[in-house]
Amino acid sequence: MSDCLFCKIVRKEIPAAIVYEDDTLLAFKDINPQAPVHLLLIPKAHCENLNDLTPATAEAAARIPGVAAQLARDHGVAEAGWRLTTNCGIEGGQGVYHLHFHVIGGKPLGSRVCR
């Protein structure tokens, strides 16, 4: 998608603090971190959100929990605890319509997943 912000990051057309990259996934630091560790893990292929998965994007997305756990270890939050979440659609609070998972940790996050 030519005008998608995260597709532009995938194509390296705009800068991002990339912390992980493989053939189908990319992770970078959130520009407005809500915790000491706040990463965004995305499939490189454009897909709006979990409502929009295709067989190809689902294959990449299926690898996200494992890569997120590796990122949590790499960033030193695995043992203390961390969170993996995705916002889907308007009431889900989604702001950027390229599927992305937040990897958040480094402070107590509480047990509530919504307010």
| Residue numbers at the binding site for ligand AMP (CB under 6 A) | 5, 16, 28, 30-32, 40, 87, 93-96
Q: With left for phi above 0 and alpha for psi between -120 and 50, is residue 106 left, alpha or beta?
A: left
Check binding of 4 to Zn ion (CB under 5 A). yes
Catalytic residue among 38, 98, 100, 102: 100
Q: Nearer Cβ to Zn ion, position 4 or 84?
A: 4
Secondary structure of the chain as H, E, C letters: CCCCHHHHHHCCCCCCCEEEECCCEEEEECCCCCCCEEEEEEECCCCCCHHHCCHHHHHHHCCHHHHHHHHHHHCCCCCCCEEEECCCCCCCCCCCCCCCEEEEECCCCCCCCCC
Build a one-symbol-per-residue string for 20-59: x at contacts with Zn ion by CB under 5 A, - elsewhere: --------------------------x-------------
Q: Does 98 bind Zn ion (CB under 5 A)?
A: yes
Question: Which is closer to ligand AMP, CB of 34 or CB of 54?
Answer: 34
**How near is the Cβ of 44 to ligand AMP at its closest, in Å?**
15
Active-site annotation holds for 102: no
Active site residues per annotation: 100
